[in-house]
């Protein structure tokens, strides 16, 4: 998209430099620590699976054993590979024995070289499956190139029953949706385990499980063949199991994952240290899998005013970009989030929305920005709601957004019915088709409101990032500088699940991911990670 706002490049580069300085201490901590869910994700990618009679996943059983005995600091896969060698069994048989009560941490460690070879073979097999899924997706996208909407139309399903979700997802895709997101059941982000198998009961959404991922992926592949265009699948790599859900998504060929660096801290009260370690590992998995992440800046505007605190959204986008690049994600995989959330009674609110969206597009030209619809100010007046969504659709197309979550006229009344989704798709396509070349036809008044607003937000963002750099990110979060929510560094859920790596720590999955992504072991930063400038 042509530069229309005249934003100063040196100021944008300055913001990126500040984001780099802010995140360096975070990445230093990440490099020295692991968590219970990083270790469980490692086991899952190495083939560890199944659950005991109580439904406790085998990766949880292994990690809980090792944590209790003080051995997790060496890496869970060390002990799992050792058990495979000593017991002479394949992962499926070993998992069954662990589910029945085998304590692999009690087994004496054998020859380290043999363990290394076994662990590397397990890691290679899992990551080969991930690579094969990526190749399949890329082949399908190439086969149906140009058949999707631009921006991609993104719709949610959330019945609680995966089989009912499939019906709604098929209907939405056949109506014209390009991306189907299966909303996760309420509070799953606070579970420190991933349920096993297909599920048919959930509140406000459906459990994220590997079997549910498999079921929905198969259903959308069928629809893709019938429609002649690739239908993408999305879920949530967030909460206390970010790396595990990323691993399951990679193994079952999900295409997008919500994966924000601070969402869990601010909106789910998950410990900051835990969150930053988990997001880094989960993003490495997403990077290798070719998955596009969606960040959560739109949530800031549910607790903060969209006019007064717009700079916090842009600041978070810079930080999310920096941490994503440090985990090996390419710019085309970083779907930075924002939202159409101005008070509709505000005079010229539409122009302010336009300014924010255009600014994000010009600052992050290589990123598939994810634009969220109005929700905070939606009411039971469905006619006004449809008008608000129409303006949102207009801004999205006119500013070249990449991923467009469709607004629902019944947003404030109930979980949308299929007919509501159909109306949303039809409205978006009507607006976007009718203004297809609008962006090429307009220029902005250099002295006008839109240009001045974008410059103002950028300058306030720089001042804000300077304040965060001076205080440090942890203290800035604790003081409520982001989203007006205060979270102390040593509080929140999951704090006990952080483990300092010993000098003997070994994780061949992590090593392989870093090698694949061009990350230096022991550094935590990507070589040449200036992408997106």
118 noted as active-site residue: no
Contact 292, 271 (CB under 8 A): no
Report the alpha-carbon distance of residue 392 to residue 385 in Å, rounded: 11
Q: What is the per-residue pLDDT for 521?
A: 63
* Listed residue (43, 212, 215, 224) closest to 136, CA to CA: 224
Report the alpha-carbon distance of residue 338 to residue 442 in Å, rounded: 23
- The residues pairing with 334 across neighbouring beta strands, listed in sequence order, are 293
| CA 375-381-387 angle, 5° bins | 65
Report the alpha-carbon distance of residue 410 to residue 389 in Å, rounded: 11
**For the residues of 75-121, what is the DSSP string, one character each?**
-HHHHHHHHHHHHT--HHHHHHHHHTT--GGGSPP--HHHHHHHHHH
Catalytic choice (80, 263, 273, 371): 263
Contacts of 81 (CB under 8 A, 6+ apart): 46, 115, 116, 118, 119, 122
- The residues pairing with 292 across neighbouring beta strands, listed in sequence order, are 256
Contact 194, 37 (CB under 8 A): no
Catalytic choice (4, 118, 370, 376): 370
HSE, CB side, 13 Å, CA atoms: give it for residue 107.
18
Average of per-residue pLDDT values in the chain: 95
Ranges of residues in the chain with a pLDDT under 50 are 523-533
Contact 526, 517 (CB under 8 A): yes
Residue 261, both tokens: 């660096």
> Alpha-carbon dihedral of residues 473, 303, 424, 212, nearest 10 degrees?
60
Can you give the residue ranges of every domain in the chain? 34-124, 150-449
* Listed residue (412, 418, 417, 352) closest to 386, CA to CA: 412
Q: Quick one: 17 exposed, middle or buried, by C-beta within 10 A (0-12, 13-18, 19+)?
A: middle
Residue 298, both tokens: 């739109």
Report the alpha-carbon distance of residue 321 to residue 54 in Å, rounded: 40
Q: What is the per-residue pLDDT for 520?
A: 76
263 noted as active-site residue: yes
Report the alpha-carbon distance of residue 480 to residue 489 in Å, rounded: 12
- The residues pairing with 35 across neighbouring beta strands, listed in sequence order, are 498
Q: What is the per-residue pLDDT for 88?
A: 79
**Cβ neighbours around 430 below 10 Å, total:** 12
298 noted as active-site residue: yes
CA of 327: how far to CAs of 27, 34, 258, 279, 520, in Å?
Answer: 10, 15, 15, 9, 11
Please state whether 391 falls in left (phi above 0), alpha (psi between -120 and 50) or beta: alpha
HSE, CB side, 13 Å, CA atoms: give it for residue 167.
7
Catalytic choice (20, 192, 298, 420): 298
Give, as one character, the DSSP assignment of residue 231: P
In the block, which residue shows the tokens 């978070």?
316
- How is domain 150-449 classified at the CATH fold level? TIM Barrel (3.20.20)
């Amino acid at each position: 998209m042509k530069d229309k706002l005249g934003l100063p490049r040196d100021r944008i580069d300055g913001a990126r430099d500040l984001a780099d300085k802010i995140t360096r201490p975070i990445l230093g901590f990440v490099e020295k620590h692991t968590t219970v869910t990083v270790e469980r994700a490692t086991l899952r990618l190495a083939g560890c699976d199944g659950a005991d009679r109580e439904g406790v996943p085998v990766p949880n059983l292994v990690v809980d054993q090792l944590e209790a005995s003080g051995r997790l600091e060496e890496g869970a896969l060390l002990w799992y590979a050792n058990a495979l060698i000593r017991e002479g069994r394949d992962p499926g048989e070993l998992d069954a024995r662990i589910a029945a009560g085998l304590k692999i941490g009690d087994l004496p460690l054998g020859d380290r070289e043999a363990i290394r070879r076994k662990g590397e073979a397990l890691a290679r097999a899992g990551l080969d499956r991930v690579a094969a899924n990526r190749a399949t997706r890329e082949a399908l996208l190439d086969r149906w190139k140009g058949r999707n909407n631009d921006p991609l139309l993104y719709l949610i399903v959330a019945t609680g029953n995966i089989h009912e979700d499939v019906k709604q997802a098929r209907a939405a895709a056949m109506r014209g949706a390009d991306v189907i997101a299966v909303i996760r059941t309420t509070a799953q982000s606070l579970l420190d385990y991933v349920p096993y198998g297909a599920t048919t009961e959930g509140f406000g959404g459906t459990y994220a499980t590997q079997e549910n991922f498999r079921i929905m992926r198969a259903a959308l592949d069928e629809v893709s063949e019938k429609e002649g265009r690739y239908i993408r699948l999305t879920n949530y790599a967030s909460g206390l199991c970010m790396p595990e859900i990323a691993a399951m998504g990679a193994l079952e060929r999900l295409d997008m994952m919500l994966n924000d660096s601070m969402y869990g801290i601010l909106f789910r009260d998950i410990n900051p240290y835990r969150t930053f370690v988990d997001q880094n590992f989960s993003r490495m998995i997403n990077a290798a899998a070719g998955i596009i992440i969606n960040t959560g800046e739109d949530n800031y505007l549910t607790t903060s005013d969209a006019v007064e605190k717009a700079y916090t959204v842009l600041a978070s986008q810079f930080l999310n970009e920096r941490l994503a690049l440090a985990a090996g994600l390419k710019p085309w995989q970083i779907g930075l989030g924002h939202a159409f959330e101005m008070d509709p009674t505000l005079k010229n609110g539409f122009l302010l929305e336009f300014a924010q969206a255009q600014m994000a597009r010009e600052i992050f030209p290589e990123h598939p920005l994810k634009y969220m619809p109005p929700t905070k100010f939606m009411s039971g007046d469905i006619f006004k709601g449809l008008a608000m969504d129409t303006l949102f659709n207009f801004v999205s197309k006119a500013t070249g957004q990449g991923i467009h979550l469709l607004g629902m006229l019944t947003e404030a009344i109930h979980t949308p019915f299929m007919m509501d989704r159909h109306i949303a798709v039809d409205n978006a396509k009507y607006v976007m088709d009718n203004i297809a070349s609008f962006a090429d036809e307009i220029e902005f008044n250099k002295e006008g409101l839109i240009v001045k607003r974008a410059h103002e937000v950028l300058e306030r963002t720089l001042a804000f990032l300077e304040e965060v750099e001076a205080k440090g990110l942890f203290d800035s979060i604790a003081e409520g500088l982001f989203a007006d929510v205060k979270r102390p560094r040593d509080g929140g859920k999951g704090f006990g699940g952080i483990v300092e790596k010993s000098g003997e720590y070994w994780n061949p999955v992590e090593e392989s991911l870093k090698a694949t992504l061009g990350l230096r072991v022991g550094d935590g930063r990507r070589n040449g990670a200036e992408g997106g400038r």
